[in-house]
């Protein structure tokens, strides 16, 4: 790794000579491209690719069905030269490898175990093989359904012929049963035999060994009974076992597809195409073809395709998926924009600074994936138990067979009991429950804006003594609402609201929508204004019986509207942390409407319940101290961290941890992820 430099996608000023985490935000560092001050260009393969060699890789794997399968792959990877560590998670279907070799060697090691390392699709809006994994999961579901259907269709006549008086078990009839059972045994059940072979090859007995022993014992004894010895046949037993087990595999594949929805939803946030300027011409290209340094055009209402710097234009951008803030952020020349956020009203021209696997969104996806793939202490213990589980089950099966023979001397009964012991252990909840619970828990958390960074965090919940809450979107609704209406001169509050709402009736800005919603609540009938125009960073202009202006001081000054009588009111509202919008009609101020993010109805109740559980409650926010204390006082929070920048939130958490607190944090924005 000598001679390589690594940087952070969010903080390009951070430089390190080895892989690790960014000290400012906790994201994974990526290799810098030579001759640039930014991270290496992404290709959709994540921060690492096969060509990059050493580092951390996440490889999607198909064919795993239990924790022992994952252990088999882990052993093969750890024996591969250059591999420093490997963690294979059955629930996520991914291998997480730290290595000093190329990815091709890792893929060969995985394939040698009988499982399949998936090739990633080179799509910029995919990440860490998300596209390949999703496509493979669909193929896995289809395959398991096909083999289940085959087993079911053939098992039905096998059962009917075995258990009805219509069928006499002569030699020719037994041959019919055998002919029906062979496809079930060796086509539908082939996956069990294949996995058993590789399991024995790597000396890591898994659940498929038990399945193979169970169905083979029933089938072989039935064949012997048909041709060589006089006895009962168990063709229906082996056929039904394969049918039920393939149905289980089908349900399992469907479950894995659903539990990975969190990552899929994050991946889908990314735009699929970008409009770039190349050779002086505007052209629309797939997102994976965008390069660092490209000039990208973004029209109103479009997603920003990549991370970049604004070089031209003025607009407001909805960054709620990153910051949790519901009010769009004004963007002008020189400001940073983040891929997958939504451009609102103005047009922007940006210079791409990070693409593919090096974007902020890609880093967040990687964090969620690695959280889902992490092994908490309880899962490591479960894996150790599973490694002894299969041999113990086989031993119990042998003892059961011997015991029945000694006590009753009935070979058929003894064999049936031995097969039952083998088969009943197949689901193996020990190895399956823990990774699946972590997968579902972290996935559901991510869907609701909660990033659970690893399974170990779930174990620590019972030891909590401090909880830190983000303000915006967590304690508050995350959506602006009208809180104050101040009228001037002859106008009344409802007059001011009506004038502003007529102008804002068709607005898509959250502030304008809150005014229109308030008018609707008051049952005010709104006419349609004419010549509606949005001016990013200022406000709006519309006409209805005269010119209506709704916006900030800059808009009023531009149109020469005097603010002399309203300044004190404006300052008082702003000191209370509210957004004050001035309403003017025919170039004269008629009132002020204040909008703010209000507390959730259950916020105070939640705080009371947390305190009742003897938890110390803290509020962490980027807002000024006056606003923070005003909010905190309403819901009973005494401990406040205010005016904290996103990158400094993690330091506040560490500060509490140094004081011996076991801390949980609740946040709703991706900007909270490092602290989380």
Tens of pLDDT, residues 384-436: 676 688 889 889 999 999 999 999 998 888 988 988 888 777 555 555 566 66
Mean pLDDT across the stretch 279-296? 90
Give the CATH number, domain containing residue 128.
3.30.70.100
Which burial class, exposed, middle or buried, applies to 195 when counting CB atoms under 10 A from its CB (0-12, 13-18, 19+)?
A: buried
Contact yes or no for 83/101 (Cβ under 8 A):
yes
Strand, coil or helix: 389 = helix
Q: Is 497 or 373 the better-scoring residue by pLDDT? A: 497
Using the 3D structure, point to which of 133, 151, 183 is the last residue of a domain.
133
**Total domains present in the chain:** 2
Mean pLDDT across the stretch 270-288? 89
Q: Which two tokens stand for residue 47?
A: 């921060």
CB proximity list for 86: less than 8 A, separation 6 or greater: 73, 74, 77, 78, 95, 96, 97, 98
Residue 54 has pLDDT above 80, yes or no: no
127 located within any domain: yes
Out of 28-42, 531-545, 633-647, which region has the weakest mean confidence (pLDDT)?
28-42
174 located within any domain: no
Residue 676 has pLDDT above 90, yes or no: no
396 located within any domain: no
Mean pLDDT across the stretch 238-253? 85
As a whole number of angstroms, the distance between CA 566 and CA 580 comes to: 11
Residue 337 has pLDDT above 90, yes or no: yes
Residue 36 has pLDDT above 50, yes or no: no
pLDDT of res. 52: 39
Using the 3D structure, point to which of 133, 156, 182 is the last residue of a domain.
133
Residue 42 has pLDDT above 50, yes or no: no
Selection from 66, 60, 106 nearest residue 83 by Cα: 106
pLDDT of res. 495: 93
Positions of E strands within 458-529: 466-470, 476-487
Residue 196 has pLDDT above 80, yes or no: yes
pLDDT of res. 168: 55
CB proximity list for 564: less than 8 A, separation 6 or greater: none
Helix and strand element counts for the chain (H, E): 21, 26
As a whole number of angstroms, the distance between CA 68 and CA 53 comes to: 28
12 and 35 in a common domain: no
Selection from 124, 127, 50 nearest residue 289 by Cα: 124
Pick from 93-102, 272-281, 472-481 the range whose average pLDDT is largest. 272-281
95 located within any domain: yes
52 and 126 in a common domain: yes
Q: Is 369 or 501 the better-scoring residue by pLDDT? A: 501
Q: How many CB atoms lie within 10 A of CB 176?
A: 15
CA 353 to chain centre: 24
93 and 73 in a common domain: yes
Give 304's pLDDT tier (boundaries 50, 70, 90).
very high
281 located within any domain: no
pLDDT of res. 38: 37
113 and 55 in a common domain: yes
Q: Which residues pair with 116 in a beta bridge?
A: 62
Q: Is 474 or 576 the better-scoring residue by pLDDT? A: 474
129 and 36 in a common domain: yes
Using the 3D structure, point to which of 133, 159, 174 is the last residue of a domain.
133
125 and 64 in a common domain: yes
pLDDT of res. 386: 64
203 located within any domain: no
CA 318 to chain centre: 20
62 and 129 in a common domain: yes
358 located within any domain: no
Per-residue pLDDT tens digits for 89-138: 776 778 888 888 888 889 999 999 888 888 754 333 444 444 555 555 67
Mean pLDDT across the stretch 645-667? 85
18 and 63 in a common domain: no
What's the domain range around 10?
1-28
85 located within any domain: yes
Residues designated as active site: 470
88 and 17 in a common domain: no
Residue 468 has pLDDT above 90, yes or no: yes
């Amino acid at each position: 790794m000598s001679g390589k430099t690594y940087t952070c996608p969010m903080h390009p000023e951070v430089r390190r000579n080895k892989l690790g985490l960014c000290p400012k935000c906790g994201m994974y560092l990526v290799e810098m491209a030579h001759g640039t001050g930014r991270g290496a260009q992404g290709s959709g393969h994540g921060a690492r690719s096969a060509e990059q060699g050493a580092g951390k890789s996440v490889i999607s794997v198909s064919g795993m069905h239990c924790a022992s399968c994952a252990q088999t792959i882990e052993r093969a990877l750890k024996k591969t030269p250059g591999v420093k560590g490997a963690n294979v998670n059955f629930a996520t279907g991914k291998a997480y490898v730290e290595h000093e070799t190329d990815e091709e060697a890792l893929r060969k090691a995985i394939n040698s175990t009988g499982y399949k390392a998936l090739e990633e699709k080179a799509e910029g809006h995919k990440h860490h093989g998300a596209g390949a994994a999703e496509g493979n999961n669909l193929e896995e579901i289809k395959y398991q359904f096909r083999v289940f259907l085959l087993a079911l269709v053939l098992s039905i006549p096998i059962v009917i012929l075995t258990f009805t008086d219509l069928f006499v078990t002569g030699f020719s009839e037994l041959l019919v049963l055998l002919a029906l059972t062979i496809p079930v045994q060796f086509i539908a059940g082939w996956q069990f035999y294949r996995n058993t072979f590789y399991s024995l090859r790597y000396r890591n007995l898994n659940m498929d060994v038990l399945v193979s022993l169970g169905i083979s014992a029933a089938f072989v004894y039935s064949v012997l009974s048909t041709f060589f010895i006089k006895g009962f046949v168990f063709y229906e037993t082996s056929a039904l076992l394969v049918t039920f087990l393939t149905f289980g595999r089908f349900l399992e594949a469907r479950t894995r597809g659903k539990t990975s929805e969190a990552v899929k939803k994050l991946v889908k946030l990314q735009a699929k195409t970008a409009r770039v300027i190349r050779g002086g011409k505007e052209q629309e290209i797939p997102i994976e073809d965008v390069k660092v340094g490209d000039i990208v055009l973004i029209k109103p209402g479009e997603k920003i395709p990549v991370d970049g710097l604004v070089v031209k234009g003025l607009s407001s951008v909805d960054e709620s998926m990153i910051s949790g803030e519901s009010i769009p952020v004004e963007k002008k020349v020189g400001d940073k924009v983040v891929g997958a956020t939504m451009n609102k009203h103005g047009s922007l021209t940006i210079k791409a600074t990070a693409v593919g696997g090096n974007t902020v969104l890609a880093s967040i996806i990687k964090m969620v994936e690695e959280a889902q793939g992490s092994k908490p202490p309880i899962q490591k213990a479960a894996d150790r138990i599973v490694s002894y589980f299969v041999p113990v089950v086989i031993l119990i099966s042998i003892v059961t067979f011997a015991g029945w023979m000694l006590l009753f001397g009935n070979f058929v009964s003894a064999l049936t009991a031995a097969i039952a012991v083998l088969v009943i252990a197949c689901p193996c909840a020990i190895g399956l429950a823990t990774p699946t619970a972590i997968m579902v828990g972290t996935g559901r958390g991510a869907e609701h804006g909660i990033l659970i960074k690893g399974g170990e965090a779930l174990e620590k919940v019972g030891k909590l003594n401090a909880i830190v809450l983000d303000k915006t979107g967590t304690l508050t609704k995350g959506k602006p609402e009208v809180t104050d209406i101040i009228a001037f001169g002859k106008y009344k509050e409802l007059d001011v609201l009506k004038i502003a709402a007529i102008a804002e009736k068709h607005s898509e800005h959250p502030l304008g929508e809150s005014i229109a919603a308030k008018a609707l609540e008051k049952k005010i009938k709104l006419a349609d204004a004419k010549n509606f125009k949005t001016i990013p960073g200022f406000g709006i202009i519309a006409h209805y019986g005269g010119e209506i202006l709704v916006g900030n001081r800059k808009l009023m000054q531009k149109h020469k509207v005097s603010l002399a009588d309203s300044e004190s009111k404006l300052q008082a509202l702003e000191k209370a942390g509210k957004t004050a919008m001035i309403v003017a009609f025919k170039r004269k101020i008629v009132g002020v409407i204040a909008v703010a993010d209000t507390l959730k109805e259950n916020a105070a109740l939640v705080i009371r319940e947390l305190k009742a559980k003897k938890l110390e409650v803290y509020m962490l926010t980027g807002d000024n101290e006056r606003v923070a204390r005003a909010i905190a006082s309403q819901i009973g929070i005494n401990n406040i961290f205010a005016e904290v920048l996103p990158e400094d939130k993690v330091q506040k958490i560490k500060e509490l941890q140094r004081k011996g607190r076991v801390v949980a944090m609740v946040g709703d924005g991706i900007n909270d992820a490092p602290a989380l």
